[in-house]
Structure 1
Amino acid sequence: MAGTRLLAAVLVLGLCMLAGAEKPSPCRCSRMSPQSRKNCGFPGITSDQCFDMGCCFDTSVVGVPWCFDPLPNQESEECVMEVSARENCGYPGISPQECASRKCCFSDAVPQVPWCFFPQPVQDCHY
Structure 2
Amino acid sequence: MSALFKRIDTVFLEVTNMERSIGWYTEVLGFSVRWHDVENGYAAIEMGETPLTLVRAEKVTPGSHCLLNFYSSDIYDAHKKLLESGVQVEDVIDYGTVLSFEFKDPDGYILGVCYFEEEQVTTRENL
TM-score, normalised by the number of residues in structure 2: 0.27
Q: If each structure's strand is expressed as a fraction of its own residues, which one has the higher value?
A: 2
Q: If each structure's helix is expressed as a fraction of its own residues, which one has the higher value?
A: 1
Structure showing greater radius of gyration is 1
